[in-house]
Chains A and B, each alone.
Chain A
Amino acid sequence: DIVMTQSPDSLAVSLGERATINCKSSQSVLYSSNNKNYLAWYQQKPGQPPKVLIYWASTRESGVPDRFSGSGSGTDFTLTISSLQAEDVAVYYCHQYYNIPLTFGQGTRVEIK
């Protein structure tokens, strides 16, 4: 199984400041034949299902604010919230869909400082 490890487990950021979440996979999720990273980021608020923010490591889902961005390749990935808003308080998960079993990181809780 591909193990996804996120860091930090939680972070507190002031409104308007940048939040950065890292995700490391135990093996590469870059598929060489199409040069795509099989990596997504989800946001989950209390009592709600996860919502996809980013897929293919850096493609923003339709309707997601452009303050959310994803980067990285191979085994190391980053989700950046450029200017944290109150509505961004949530748990964020990275997710590899490169091979079965699909796996998720343990989650990173983002709070307001």
Chain B
Amino acid sequence: QVQLQESGPGLVKPSETLSLTCTVSGYSISSDYFWGWIRQPPGKGLEWIGGIYHSGSTYYNPSLKSRVTTSLDTSKNQFSLRLSSVTAADTAVYYCARAAAVTGQNNYWGQGTLVTVSS
């Protein structure tokens, strides 16, 4: 049973960097698949952020590309998101998810973690 769980600070100050980790159980992230991030502002719709293949190749939403990095830690079976220079507009529930490919549907999702950007 594949499971994903997000973790990280729930409060980030404006202009600082948001850092989240997704811990995966039930599957080795180094074996296959695309490991992605999607966010949802409170009461709003879904926005694809981007993610990373098991090989290390990354793909990002162009609207966020200048501020986003993702990485793998295969020793811990985790992948991470960093979003720099955050503003209140980055306040959202952040989900990690697994897809067969960057051009694939997300079959497995974490429960999501709310990150609030506020001073």
Instruction: Specify whether A and B are partners.
Output: yes
Decide: B105 and A52 in contact? CB cutoff 8 A: yes
Q: Which of A88-104 contact B (CB under 8 A)?
A: 93, 95, 97-104
In B79-119, which residues have CB < 8 Å from any A CB?
Answer: 95, 97, 99, 102-107, 109-112
Report the separation of the CA atoms of residues A48 and B1 in the bound assembly, to the nearest whole angstrom: 18
Give the A-B contact count at a CB cut-off of 8 A.
Answer: 53
Chain B interface residue count, CB cutoff 8 Å, equals: 21
Q: Which of A38, A61, A104, A105 contacts B107 (CB 8 A)?
A: A61
CB-CB contacts below 8 Å: A44-99 with B:
48-52, 55, 61, 93, 95, 97-99
Q: How far is the CA of A51 from the CA of B111 in the complex (A)?
A: 11
Chain A: interface size category: 20 to 34
Query: Given A38-B103, A49-B95, A97-B104, do A104 and B109 touch, yes or no (CB 8 Å)?
Result: no
Smallest CB-CB separation from B4: which chain A residue? A49
Indicate if A40 sits at the interface (CB-CB under 8 A).
yes
For B62, what are the chain A residues with a Cβ–Cβ distance below 8 Å?
A: 100-101
Is B46 an interface residue when CB atoms closer than 8 A count as contact?
yes
| B interface: dominant SS | loop
Are the C-beta atoms of B48 and A102 separated by less than 8 Å?
yes
Interface core residue of B48, B97, B102, B112 (most chain A CB under 10 Å):
B48
Is B45 among interface residues, defined by CB-CB distance under 8 A? yes
Partner pick for B46 among A52, A61, A93, CB 8 A cutoff: A93
Which of chain A's residues has its CB closest to B101's CB? A97
Q: Is B33 an interface residue (CB 8 A)?
A: no
The complex places the Cα of A103 from the Cα of B110 at a distance, in Å, of 19
A2 CA to B71 CA in the complex, in Å? 27
Answer yes or no: A106 CB below 8 A from chain B CBs.
yes
Can you list 11 A-B contacts (CB < 8 A)? A38-B103, A42-B46, A48-B111, A49-B95, A49-B110, A49-B111, A51-B109, A52-B107, A93-B45, A95-B105, A97-B102
